[in-house]
Amino acid sequence: MRRVFWFALLAVPLLADGISRDEFKDRRAKLQKSLDGVMVLFGHEEGDDLHTGFFQETNFLYLTGWREPGAVMILTKTEDFLLLPPRNLRGENYTGRTLGPDDADAPLKTGFNKVLPRYALQSTFTRLLETSRRIYMLATETNAAKIKQLAPFHEVTGAEQPIARLRMIKSQAEIDLITKATDATVDAHLVAWKSMKAGLYEYQIAAAMTNVYFQHGCERSSYAPIVGSGPNSTVLHYSVNKRRMDSGEVVVMDVGSECSDYATDVTRTVPVSGKFTPRQREIYEIVLGAQKAAIDAIKPGMRISTGPGRGEGESLQRIAMDYINAHGKDLHGQPLGKYFIHGLGHHVGLDVHDPSETGSTLRAGMVITIEPGIYIPEENIGVRIEDTILVTETGYKILSGALPREADEVEKLVGK
């Protein structure tokens, strides 16, 4: 049964959609300049999970574009290799034709000049160690112990940060794919708003949304859809989606799609009955004001947050927090900042929480989210507003800007 499900994915191109072979080669060439040793990355193996199809490890995918399971990449300052498992002729009855390391067109289809059988991993790696100082691997690599046994006297360095430095800056092709995912997600939110009414269950709204972006050709959700109404609106990563939504409540919908491997992240909070109560509108306007203040400050050189060890200087997080603390009070007359209990944003790309370099400032080509929120369990009110945003040379572009944020505009569309 597992293999039959994998067969359904065979129509997907071997290399990632929308990214050229030359771009993958360029990524590897940039990474090679920073290496002082041998990098070994293992792609995902074909899994036994019946709930999902095969999805490649994202660092491996970023550098190779390779979608088939069981591959390994070796990279040095001057050489790069892709090692493929041998063809399994019997297994291909279930999976369809796979590419083998001995196929004459393997270099053309993979974009690697050197394509080797996976059993050559040990001999190739051992040879390259003779002129290398260290080994680069991912900290999560399940084969790390085996690799270290082959080089007990070499220094082991994490591969995450060198790759993250590249992944943080998106190419135009990547921006186009994130935009594709974002557009599909905006459509999904709009469908949810129009179908919203008291008495529906959260899972019905989640299903309506995922159905939209699956119809757009997206492969999966970027993360488990979050549809939290009433008391569930105050739970940050609530994803049970089982509660019936009642009139007079707000519902937080944090739902995003993944299309052609690239993710997006969009959140809106809407009134179930189509009309905010005065208190709900007050909290909503404060969150929206904080988001606008932070977005307006986006530019190269700014930080999303100051973070540990970097003092209390200006950051987008600080701007949003200061706005929330300066507007509105809780039922006890206290500022609302203590109800903003999470980070303001993160990078987006192949992963919805894409890797970034600790302490980095914003640069043109980065794609981030801005998502302030206020969550008051005592009042059963949670509000989060989140957009996916491209950092430009002069400021920003809101990729999800087609989805309304103003309270009056939201009310005009909910239940209509």
24-58: per-residue pLDDT in tens? 999 999 999 999 999 999 999 987 667 778 899 99
> Is 6 a residue whose pLDDT tops 50?
no
> Is 7 a residue whose pLDDT tops 50?
no
H or E segment and range at residue 184: helix 172-195
> Is 16 a residue whose pLDDT tops 80?
no
Query: Can you give the pTM of this predicted structure?
Result: 0.94
Mean pLDDT of the chain: 93
Q: Which two tokens stand for residue 344?
A: 């303001």
Q: What is the signed CA dihedral for 370, 375, 381, 384, rounded to 10 degrees? A: 10
The torsion angles phi and psi of 266, rounded to 5 degrees, stand at -135, 135
Q: Which two tokens stand for residue 134?
A: 């260290």
Query: Tell me, what's the pLDDT at 54?
Result: 87
Per the document, the length of the chain is 416
User: Where residue 146 falls among pLDDT bands split at 50, 70, 90?
Assistant: confident
The torsion angles phi and psi of 71, rounded to 5 degrees, stand at -90, 160
User: Where residue 308 falls among pLDDT bands split at 50, 70, 90?
Assistant: low
Measuring CA to CA, which residue among 358, 341, 268 is closest to residue 304?
A: 358
Alpha-carbon span 109 to 131, nearest angstrom: 30
Q: Are 365 and 216 in contact (CB under 8 A)?
A: no
Q: Judging by DSSP bridges, how do beta strands 396-398 and 387-391 pair with one another?
A: antiparallel
Identify how many contiguous H helices and E strands the chain contains and give both numbers. 13, 17
Alpha-carbon span 46 to 44, nearest angstrom: 7
> Is 93 a residue whose pLDDT tops 50?
yes
Percentage of residues in the chain with pLDDT exceeding 70? 94
What letters, b where the CB count within 10 A reaches 16 and e where it falls short, cover 275-286? ebeeebbbbbbb
> Is 83 a residue whose pLDDT tops 60?
yes
List the domains of the chain with CATH numbers.
Answer: 2-160 (3.40.350.10), 172-413 (3.90.230.10)
Query: Tell me, what's the pLDDT at 2?
Result: 38
Query: Tell me, what's the pLDDT at 14?
Result: 56
Q: Are 66 and 55 in contact (CB under 8 A)?
A: no
Query: Tell me, what's the pLDDT at 10?
Result: 39
Average pLDDT (182-206) is: 98
Average pLDDT (343-349) is: 97
Alpha-carbon span 228 to 245, nearest angstrom: 9
Residue type, 109: K
Query: Tell me, what's the pLDDT at 96?
Result: 86
Q: What is the signed CA dihedral for 336, 337, 340, 342, rounded to 10 degrees? A: -170
Query: Tell me, what's the pLDDT at 8?
Result: 37
Among all chains, which residue has been given the structure tokens 């459509």? 187
Alpha-carbon span 31 to 95, nearest angstrom: 33
Query: Tell me, what's the pLDDT at 232?
Result: 98
